[in-house]
Amino acid sequence: MRKITFPHMGNLFVIAKALFEELGFEVVVPPYNNKSALEIGKRLSPEFICLPFKLNMGNFIQAIEMGADTIVIFGGCGPCRFGYYGALEKEILKDLGYDVEMIVIEPLFYGLRNFLEQVSKIFARKNIASILKRVYRLAKKVDGIERKVHFLRPREMVKGSVDKIYERFRKEALKVYGIDQMERLVDTTNVLLDNLYIVNEKVRKIGIVGEIYTIIDSFSSLNIEKILGEMGCEVERNLYISQWIDTHLIYPIFRKKDTIVKRYSKGIMPVLIGGHARETISYAIYFAAQKYDGILHIFPLTCMPEIIAKSVLNGIKNQIGVPIMHVVVDEIDSDVGIKTRLEAFLDLIEARSEKVERGLLSWD
């Protein structure tokens, strides 16, 4: 029987594990993204590749050592390097002499036949439609937990209680089997979170935009969401895993576009330039329109679409009217520098909002 593995990306492992188990495979979940995964990835990857690639390599090697023999990864197209990941990783693993099969699922516009050929390796003789429906529901629920965590962190009465429940959820998720059990775990976690005591503090709202992997995966973003939560900020970001399923797997089939992107990218970036530059820009404007206090833009070093987004955001700073901070992440081992910048950013927001309340603001 195949032993399937996949790269980490935030809570993706919860959903992917349940899905593959339901399809009757044995699943090897690599250890969470950590320093040693990054170390391995750094050694094997091209020098100027972005951080997600290095982490993927680390995940694969660690999973292979744990016995995995099949790797599933999504492909893609467009100018972002992600589309090339699967092919490149395949070659690197081959050069290293690992005997693994790599299943790269390309999007539908690369031809139905190719898609079905790859997909059929995974989905064999099963009631696919019902499984996919349940997985989709699970993905929505898991993201619901993350949203709840973001909401509760700045408001919790006893510091750290939210994270205790959340970490427990991530740990238990490795132990349960299949979609049903996973859903039950999600439900119990929800109950635990709902029963926390909260304090009604004045909470600042920060919107996070940026490159998909680095904002979803907490290791690569240096735990920025948690740090902000502890500093008393509620965090909302534009991408969750279920939204990624929506925008990349479901909308393209029905030829629909994310309504917010459609509305706010008009006149600024009407065409796709690859990656999530358009999403970054539109959601930055959207968050500002929703009266968020600040916007954080996170992306990995050398990420082309996001660098363009950064320049565009600089150009429309006055239109946005909300402070924006850009955070570039790569192999950074200590979070002290990030904390300093975030703290200064919140001070800026604080000082600024006092002026706004007194009606004295003049924005540059």
SS3 at position 285: helix
Binding mask 190-209 for another protein (x = CB under 8 A): ---------x-xx-------
Q: How far apart are CA 324 and CA 287, in angstroms?
A: 11
Instruction: Candidates 135-143, 233-241, 253-261, 347-355: pick the segment binding another protein (CB under 8 A).
Output: 347-355
For another protein, give the closer residue by CB, 163 or 183. Answer: 163
Using the structure block, give the residue that is written with the tokens 């735990």: 223
The size of the interface with another protein (CB under 8 A), counted in residues, is 47
Strand ranges across the sheet with 204-210: 233-237, 204-210, 294-300, 324-329
Q: Does 274 bind another protein (CB under 8 A)?
A: no
Q: Beta-carbon neighbour count of residue 32 at 10 Å?
A: 15
Residue from 3, 90, 147, 352 in contact with another protein (CB under 8 A): 352
Residues 283-322 that bind another protein (CB under 8 A): 301, 311, 314-315
Tokens of 11: 């809570």
| Cα-based torsion angle of the residue sequence 195, 163, 338, 232 in order, rounded to the nearest 10 degrees | 20
Torsion angles phi and psi, residue 221, rounded to 5: -95, 15
Amino acid at position 35, single letter: K
Q: How far apart are CA 237 and CA 207, in angstroms?
A: 6
For another protein, give the closer residue by CB, 23 or 208. Answer: 208
For another protein, give the closer residue by CB, 212 or 342. Answer: 342
Residues 161-190 that bind another protein (CB under 8 A): 163-164, 167, 171
- The residues binding another protein (CB under 8 A) are 31-32, 34-36, 156-160, 163-164, 167, 171, 199, 201-202, 223, 226, 230, 232, 301, 311, 314-315, 323, 327-328, 330, 336-337, 339-341, 343-345, 347-348, 351-352, 354-355, 360, 362-364
